[in-house]
Structure formats: structure tokens, C-alpha cells
Amino acid sequence: MKKRLLSFTLAAAMVFSLAGCRSAEPAATEAPTTIAATTAAAEGGEAEAAEGEETEAPAADFKIGIITGTASQGDEEITQANKMKEKYGDMIVTSTYPDNFSTETETVISNAVAMASDPAVKAIVWCQAIPGTAAAIDKVRETRPDMIFITGTPGEDPGVINPKADIVLQVDEPGCGVVIPPQAKAQGAKTMIHYSFPRHMSYALIVARHENLKKYCEENGIELVDVTAPDPTGDSGITGAQQFILEDVPRQIEKYGKDTVFFTTNCGMQEPLIRSVFEQGAIYSLQCCPSPFHAFPAALNIDMAGHEADVDYMLEQLQAKVDEAGMNGRVSTWGVPCNMLFVEAGVEYAKKVLEGQTNGVVLDDQLLRDTLQECAGEIKMTIDNYVDDSGNAKDNHYLVMADFVTFE
């Protein structure tokens, strides 16, 4: 990787803003701690091997399902799902949820039930875990209480999803509210435009991030301006939401000037937002789901053929686009594609569980942390447990952070 690309803002300052979370959780419900006997096929294989008989590789004894959104909502998750399918073949089965998931909950549930109807499927990795995931988990467990669920980027509050899923993986959204303002200030920002809509602003961790953005924007001399955008799951759909962004960014820059940093809580809005920011010469610090792949290729016409998961290539291409646009120092992201990380680490960890590497428990804290870091590669991840309003850490809910990569 070209060293001139990277100017890292350390994530140490990010830490521990979790007290800002405003979710109200029910009485603690522990995730299942042991693997049901029906998932112990690998152990049975080991017993046969001990008697001198040859046995198949453990992967032949189970399948792992992956549920993602479609490419129109953001193609990283489905790209990584397909990559895991290429790596492990028939061990991986995939499915998607509908774009209008908020009004098609029954489809969300039925797709999960259909995947779980195959008795060989022992674990399901779900990213993004959109609203309806908890209900789908409940429905699946009516007939498959043994099913392991690893959910990434939940769209439901911790009090809803934590008691249902075995493991929850998420960007540290409250922490992002702490680190984005100083990053934006270093990039020259005087104003921040925050695009969202009522559905997202009802999510506890998004609210906590917003509260921190308000606090730390003020501390860094940045005016925070909230702008309500159309919900992509509403009547106007994702096309209407994207059109709004394309039309509104120039209006905001005309009003506040080019030293304005733009942020949106929605994945589907990132592409038009990035394109408009580059066209107008504004500032872009981070996506809602941080990643060098998230919306940049489509927004900036970067050819990804043969480089779909090549971080170094992507960072080099982004530096070239920044140089071309004269946006040096005004664009940044993380060097880890978080949602792709959650899919990959979810699969790799589920595979370890089903192969018996966790001594019969579903949640092996150290092994999970090690797996996340292994999948993240050389970039150091900060991994903490979610802490609720009462100060209780949730052992099965992990929040991750990485350093900024600023294109100088």
C-alpha cells in the first residue's frame, strides 16, 4: 500500500461513549451457552475416527446460511456472502431480504424459515440484521431451537436483538459520534449536515451517536444541522431518497459553504452523497457503515473487476480520485470494511463452533475476538462490549472501531 495514502487518526480517542445509549432493556436474557446435540455431528465424527475409521472433514456435516440485503441497498454484504460461497462451496447457502423490509416483515421471516428448513443448516449469519430479524429468529427457533444466529449491524435496539441472537456484531455507533467531529474539524469543517429520518432516529444506538455528534461538534466549533430525508423504505423508495440527496447537497453548500461535512445514517444514500460532495468540493469523513468499499466505487466510477475485496487497491484508487478532484485532506473512511468483516468473521466463527473448537459453548469470547481481528488483517480493531443505560455490559454484543484513513 502506498504509505502516502494513509494518515491515521487513532481510535483511542473514540472510546467508551457508550453511556450515551438510551435504550431500555428488559431483564437480562442470556444467549444460549451450549450447542444442541443436533449440532454435534462433528464430535460424532471424531469419535468414529478414534475407533480407526476414516471420517469426512467436519464441513461436510453442516451448512452455514448467510442472509443479506440486495445489491440495491448496498452490495458489500452480498459480495462477501458470495465470496464465502466461493471459498467453502456447498457448505454455504445464501438468501436475501426484500428492499422494502419494513413493510414486508412476513417475507423477511419466511426467507429465514425457508433457510432453516434444511436440517443441515446449523448456523445463520445475518447482515444487515434489519428490523424483523428478532421476530424471524423467534419463528425459526419454534422448530430449530438449536440454530445459531450471528447478527451483524442490527436495525433493532439492543434490548430487542440481544436476547434473541447468540452474537451481535456492530460498529460502535456512539463512539463514532465522538470521533467524527474532531476528524471533520481536522479536515476543515465548520458545519455538519446530518441526514436521517424518523425510523432511524428511533434506534437507540443511532440516537446515541447523534447525541455525541451534537456534543462533540459543539466542542470542536462545528455547527450541526439536522436535515430530514425521505425514508428509502417509504413510498418514494430508494430512488426518491437518492434524488433528494442529489438535490439537497448543493442547496446546503450554497447556504453553508464548502467547508461542510456531510453524514447520513442510511447506506442507500451514501452513493449520491459521495458523488455530490466530490462535485461540490465539500467534506466527507465517514459512512454510516464504515468501509473503503461502501458506495465509493459506484459514486466515483472505480472499476472493481477482479478487486472486489482488495482493500489496498481500493485505497489506492480512492487516493487517485481525491488527487484528481483536488479534495486532498477532505475525504476519509476506515481501512476495514465493517459489514464485510461481520459476514466473514461470522462465518469463520460459526464454522469453528460447529467444528467443536469452543468446547461446546456458542460464545467463546476470546476466540470470537481473535476471529474478528484475523479477518480484519493488519488494521488493529478496538472491540468492546455494548453497555446498557444501567452500566451492564452485554457479553454477546460486540462494538468495533478502527482508525481513520485520510486521503492527503
Query: Which residue, chain included where needed, has cell 467534506?
Result: 283
The confidence score (pLDDT) of residue 9 equals: 43
Residue 4 predicted with pLDDT over 60: no
Q: Residue with C-alpha cell 453511556?
A: 19
Q: Which three cell numbers stand for residue 114?
A: 425457508
Q: What is the pLDDT of residues 73-115, one digit of tens each?
A: 668 899 999 999 999 999 999 999 988 887 889 999 999 999 9
Q: What is the pLDDT averaged over residues 187-192?
A: 98
- Judged on CB neighbours under 10 Å (0-12, 13-18, 19+), 397 is buried
pLDDT confidence of residue 231? 95
The proportion of the chain whose per-residue pLDDT surpasses 70, expressed as a percent, equals: 85
- Convert the pLDDT of each residue in 6-22 to its tens digit: 444 433 333 333 333 32
The length of the chain is 408
pLDDT, position 389: 85
In this predicted structure, the answer to whether residue 49 has a pLDDT above a threshold of 70 is: no
Higher pLDDT, 287 or 51: 287
Helix (H) or strand (E) holding 113: helix 105-116
Kindly indicate the confidence band of residue 30, based on its pLDDT and cuts at 50, 70 and 90. very low
Q: Check pLDDT > 80 for residue 1.
A: no
> 192-216: per-residue pLDDT in tens?
999 999 999 998 899 999 999 999 9
Least confident of 5-14, 163-172, 185-194, 267-276: 5-14
**Phi, psi of 94, rounded to the nearest 5 degrees:** -125, 155
* Mean pLDDT computed over every residue of the chain: 87
To which H or E segment does residue 167 belong? strand 167-171
- Reported as a pLDDT band with limits 50, 70 and 90, residue 254 is very high
Mean pLDDT, residues 227-241 taken together: 93
Task: For residues 65-80, give the mean pLDDT.
Answer: 87
Please compute the mean of the pLDDT values over residues 358-376 and round it to a whole number.
96
- The reported pTM is 0.80
DSSP secondary structure string for all residues of 317-332: HHHHHHHHHT-TTSBE
At residue 187, the pLDDT reads 98
Which cell is 336 given?
476495514
Cα separation of 145 and 252, whole Å? 51
Give the closest residue to 218 by CA, choosing from 245, 248, 182.
182
Say what the pLDDT of residue 57 is.
39
* Per-residue confidence (pLDDT) for residue 28, from 0 to 100: 36
Quote the radius of gyration of the chain (alpha carbons, Å): 21
Distance of alpha carbon 164 from alpha carbon 159, whole angstroms: 9
Residues 172-196: what's their mean pLDDT? 97
State what percent of residues in the chain have pLDDT above 90: 75
All three cell numbers of 155, joined, read 436495525
Return d(Cα 378, Cα 361) in angstroms, integer: 28
Residues paired with residue 387 on neighbouring β-strands, in sequence order: 393
Q: Residue 357: count other Cβ atoms within 10 Å of its Cβ.
A: 14
